[in-house]
Amino acid sequence: MSIEFLLNGERIEVEAPPMSRLLDVLRRELGLTGTKEGCGEGECGACTVLLEDVPVLSCLLPLVQCEGRRVDTIEGLARSEAGPLIERLVSLGGVQCGACTPGIVVATCALLRQTENPTRAQVAQALAGNLCRCTGYEGIHRAIQALAEP
């Protein structure tokens, strides 16, 4: 089946079974390997992408649900709004192994689109579906809060 959608600002058409996981299409068909598969069960958040500005788990999302819609991945966000966040995550100890980082960046971009200067509680809520086994979250929170500083 042919599925057409907007991916990182570019209209694309993909030939794939409609129930293919978006994660697999992104990584295998389109070569966008920034979106990671952590658990494959919707528990870790490593595969988070934005669907019409809403964070979704691409390991659970059938490709057909993207038809005619906008999808933003870490690759697209890194070229636009995520640059300052990524720099702060690196400089403030919010990155270690990196497996969770793309999902955390994507979820944070969604939060920052809605709330310019989020509180620690808002950050915690926005990242509740993103598991990180390495950092202890403190560096991640510091990096996000530092975005509001001049």
Residue 148 has pLDDT above 80, yes or no: no
pLDDT band at 74 (very low <50, low <70, confident <90, very high): very high
Which stretches does DSSP call E strand in 24-81? 48-51, 54-57, 70-72
Report strand pairing: 2-7 vs 10-15: antiparallel
Of 120, 85, 122, 125, nearest to 106 by C-alpha is 85
Cα separation of 105 and 91, whole Å? 15
Q: Where are the beta strands (DSSP E) in the chain?
A: 2-7, 10-15, 48-51, 54-57, 70-72
CATH-assigned architecture of domain 2-72: Roll (3.10)
User: What are the tens digits of pLDDT across the range 79-133?
Assistant: 999 999 999 999 999 999 999 999 999 999 999 999 989 999 999 999 999 999 9
Q: Which CATH number describes the domain made up of 78-146?
A: 1.10.150.120
What's the length of the chain?
A: 150
What is the per-residue pLDDT across 51-62, written as a single tens digit (0 to 9) for each? 999 999 999 999
Break the chain into its structural domains and give their ranges. Answer: 2-72, 78-146
Q: What is the mean pLDDT of the chain?
A: 95
Q: What is the pTM of this model?
A: 0.95
Residue 150 has pLDDT above 70, yes or no: no
